[in-house]
Amino acid sequence: MKSVYKVVLAVLAVAGFFFAVQPAVAHHSGAEFMDQVKEITGTIKEFQFKNPHTWIQVVVENPKGEKEEWSVEWGAPNSLARQGYRPSTFPAGAKVVMRIHPMRSGAPAGGFVAAKFPDGKTVGKWE
Amino acid sequence: MIANKTQRCLALGAGLLLVAVLSYGQKPALPEFNKLPDWSGVWQMMGGTVFDRATQTGQGGSTTHGVRIHPPYNAEWEAIYQKNLALRDQDRLPDVITNCGVPVGFPRIMNLPDVYEFVIRPEEFWILTENGPNVMRVYTDGRAVLAPEERWGTYTGDSAGHWEGDTLVFQTVALKGSRDGDSILDRTGAVLSDAAQATTRMRRINDTTIESQMVIEDAKAFTKPWTVTKQFRRLPTGTRVYDYGCAENNRNPVDAATGRTLTLGPDGKPLEDREKD
């Protein structure tokens, strides 16, 4: 039984590795994003779970107290679905802290790194 | 005695004629379906999308500055590749698949992210890629590839082959290559000419791996044949392939004027030029 458990673990590890190496932006290069990580805090407006890439729209209050909509690009819905994510992963109205690779242009957008909800639940590589 | 001989000759001749008539237009016998290899399931290309990792120099992926591959280009085509590499380094090498709707073509179809299905029938073999989606057909019913006078260049070309035991061997001709500026091998900017053709050998090398070895010849661009090997890993049983409507919500079209990949905001306007306060 123990060896079966080990085999299952090994299979899951291998499968996990190959899912993990899926490029986040297979459809285009991703050169528009910086390597550095920025944190934004806001409210989910919409999770566009569509091809060729998913987008999370987050409403953030900027330093002037104005509401600003950020566009956060994530992986293809298909590869995310194979990892267990669904349109319900980012429900509209939920508060969220999000880590992103910001755009080089300074536009309110970025590439998704991780997210944390108020209840401590995380998505992506938070730690 | 002579009459008997004549009768035997006539009978033999009639028999040969009958065989000739019956076999006229008949295709060679197809392999039996249950004797063909099992490549069912869902597969994923191993490694990144640098087309030929065996000749890669530089560390990183296909869009990383300094990364390139080394097809056996002649001086003219090495210069073309150098130009593409320079554009890549300026983030201005357009990848037409970013605009959706353009096939990746062969041999890039062996170099895609997301997942694959390989469908085997006695008369035909199909490569189905989720990304794109793309389809490549390889006839295995005994026909030859199109004759030179019947060819015109297309993204995926014309392919025909046969089974050698568990190995599928096929030839691909009639490729358009980079002639129209809308076909690359990877995002380093490596390209082929419209004279390219290839012989591919595909086989399942173990329970979880299919290997595709392509010997690519290009009379215009290469000084010698180029061998590139790609491998595909079988994903767990039950893995699904999903719909891929590339144009469904493409917020990253290529700007034809600059070659830049744009990022569109929720209003459909490019975000790049907006300066953040």
What CATH number is attached to the domain comprising B71?
Answer: 2.40.128.20
The pLDDT of B177-193, averaged and rounded, is: 96
pLDDT, tens digit, 9 for 90 and up, residues B63-94: 999 999 999 999 999 999 999 999 999 988 88
Region B156-177: mean pLDDT is: 98
Question: Which residues of chain A have a pLDDT value below 50?
Answer: 1-24
Cα–Cα separations (whole angstroms), residue B121 to A37, B200, B233? 49, 18, 21
Number of H helices and number of E strands within chain A?
A: 2, 6
With contacts defined as CB-CB under 8 Å, which chain B residues touch A15?
A: 235-236
Predicted confidence (pLDDT) at residue B24 exceeds the cutoff of 70: no
In 3D, which of B251, B257, B259 has the Cα closest to residue B95? B259
Q: What are the tens digits of pLDDT across the range A39-58? A: 999 999 999 999 999 999 99
Residue B132 predicted with pLDDT over 60: yes
Assigned domain for B3 exists: no
Q: What confidence score (pLDDT) does residue A108 get?
A: 94
Predicted confidence (pLDDT) per residue in B193-246, tens digit: 999 999 999 999 999 999 999 999 999 999 999 999 999 999 999 999 999 999
The beta-carbon contacts of B80-87 under 8 Å, at least 24 apart in sequence, are B80/B178, B80/B191, B81/B189, B81/B190, B81/B191, B83/B189, B84/B184, B84/B188, B84/B189, B84/B190, B84/B191, B85/B188, B85/B189, B87/B189, B87/B259
Residues of A in contact with B243 (CB under 8 A): 51, 78
The shortest C-alpha distance from B223 to chain A (Å) reads 30
The lowest-confidence range among A11-15, B22-26, B90-94, B256-260 is A11-15
Binned at pLDDT 50, 70 and 90, residue B250 comes out as very high
pLDDT of residue B254: 87
Nearest Cβ partner for A29 among B235, B261, B275: B261
Per-residue pLDDT, B9: 56
Tally of domains in chain B: 1
User: In this predicted structure, what is the pLDDT of residue A58?
Assistant: 98
Strands (E), chain B: 43-45, 115-120, 124-129, 134-139, 158-164, 167-173, 196-206, 209-218, 226-234
Express as a percent the part of chain B with pLDDT over 70.
Answer: 88
Q: What value does the mean pLDDT take over residues B151-170?
A: 97
CA distance B252 to B260: 10
Q: Could you tell me the residue range of the domain that residue B228 belongs to?
A: 37-234
Instruction: Please enumerate in sequence order all residues whose Cβ is within 8 A of that of A123, keeping only pairs 6 or more positions apart, or say none.
Output: A85, A89, A90, A114, A115, A116
The upper half-sphere exposure of residue A51, i.e. CA atoms within 13 Å in the direction of its Cβ, equals 19
Does residue B46 belong to any structural domain of this protein?
yes
Which element (helix H / strand E) includes B82?
Answer: helix B75-89
Q: What is the pLDDT of residues B50-65, one digit of tens each?
A: 999 999 999 999 999 9
pLDDT of residue B13: 61
- In the prediction, which pLDDT does A105 show? 85
Domains of chain A: 25-124 (2.40.50.1010)
Structural domain contains residue B165? yes
**Which chain B residues contact residue A53 at CB under 8 A?**
249, 251-252
* A58 → chain B, closest CA residue: B266
Q: Looking at chain A, which residue has its C-alpha nearest residue B268?
A: A71
Mutate to test the interface with B, among A8, A17, A27, A80 (most CBs of B within 10 A): A27
The percent of residues in chain B predicted with pLDDT above 90, rounded, is 77
Q: Which chain B residues have a beta carbon less than 8 Å from that of A51?
A: 243-246, 248-249
- The question of ipTM being above 0.95 is answered as no
Q: Which residue of A has its CA nearest to B64?
A: A31
What's the pLDDT score for residue A24?
A: 43
- Best probe of the A interface among B252, B254, B258, B260, by most A CBs < 10 A, is B252
Kindly state whether residue B79 falls inside one of the protein's structural domains. Answer: yes
Closest CA to B98 of B269, B272, B256, B276: B256
Chain A interface includes B165 (CB < 8 A): no
* pLDDT (0 to 100) of residue B5: 65
B73 CA to centre of own chain? 20
B23 pLDDT tier (thresholds 50, 70, 90): low
Tokens matching residue B6: 């004549």
Residue of B nearest to A11 (CA): B236
Determine whether the interchain pair B113/A22 forms a contact, defined as Cβ–Cβ distance below 8 Å: yes
DSSP run (H or E) holding A98: strand A95-102
Least confident of B82-96, B121-135, B250-264: B250-264
In a domain, B250, yes or no: no
> Cβ B272–A107 below 8 Å, yes or no?
yes
pLDDT at B14 over 70: no
